[in-house]
Amino acid sequence: MGSSVSAGVGALALAGYLYRHRESPGVPWFVASFVAVSVWCLAYGIALFVVDLPLRAHLTALWMLGSIWTGPLFLLFALAYTGRTAIVRSRRGAALLSVPAMGTVLLLTHGFHSLLWTEFRLAPVFGLSTASYTLQPIAYVILVFTLLSAGLAVVLLVETVVNYGPLYRGEAIALALSVVPPAAGSLPWLFGFGPYPQLNLSPALFVLHLTLDGYAFVEKDMFDTNPTTRRAAER
């Protein structure tokens, strides 16, 4: 719970710090993605201590709401940061947001249907109020989409940073590794394997993700370097 809440607060702090770079390519999307991370981590951390079943279901919908926006927003940031702004402004960019938008509608109305999950119940582990439920196909589509979006974003960023040259090798490694902790925490929960599949460790592991992103984008001031300008100069 402490790690989840710390990650949520850290995500908000990082978003606030980087807002000063809002004129740089993609930064508004980057800030928005970390606001989504904050909602995800804070809601999940609080939910671990809620035993009232209806309220627990609402908090589950809230943390899922943050999770489904994290990947697509991060991908839009990666596209804009790496000089692919035409895609962001096109119908393809809008299509990236259509999936989380659909998920948002379903999550906000989860009490009136069973399209996302069924058999919602409490299944405590380690004294925490974890919940167990059966995800429905449309939920898998939405959740896998956000994972794939985040993965593609990391590939685009690493490819661009590697092209900076050896000077940015450390940043490339940090970005490549940043997606591993939250993905590793989500997969057992998403696909129901391991001893405690009802426990989603992604919110807690986002602390590592934020540390790596903070190193790449804050410590090394990567927003002071414009990949689009550099690529044009090299051509």
Instruction: Quote the pLDDT of residue 98.
Output: 93
Q: In whole angstroms, what is the distance from residue 3 CA to residue 5 CA?
A: 6
Instruction: Quote the pLDDT of residue 101.
Output: 96
Instruction: Quote the pLDDT of residue 215.
Output: 81
Whole-angstrom CA distances from 174 to 25, 27, 101, 159, 215 are 20, 18, 30, 13, 7
Q: In whole angstroms, what is the distance from residue 105 CA to residue 100 CA?
A: 9
Instruction: Quote the pLDDT of residue 220.
Output: 61
Instruction: Quote the pLDDT of residue 235.
Output: 57
**Other C-beta atoms within 10 Å of 111: how many?**
9
- Token pair for 196: 């405690």
Could you give the 3-state DSSP secondary structure of residue 82?
coil
Instruction: Quote the pLDDT of residue 105.
Output: 97
Which letter does DSSP use for residue 125 in this model?
Answer: B
Residue 51, amino acid: V
Mean pLDDT by 10 residues, the chain (235 residues): 86 85 81 93 94 95 95 90 82 89 96 94 90 94 93 84 68 77 87 86 88 76 61 57
Instruction: Quote the pLDDT of residue 164.
Output: 66
How wide is the angle at C-alpha 66 spanned by C-alphas 211 and 182, nearest 5°?
40
Instruction: Quote the pLDDT of residue 80.
Output: 86
Instruction: Quote the pLDDT of residue 168.
Output: 66
Instruction: Quote the pLDDT of residue 183.
Output: 85
Cβ-contact 93, 87 below 8 angstroms? yes
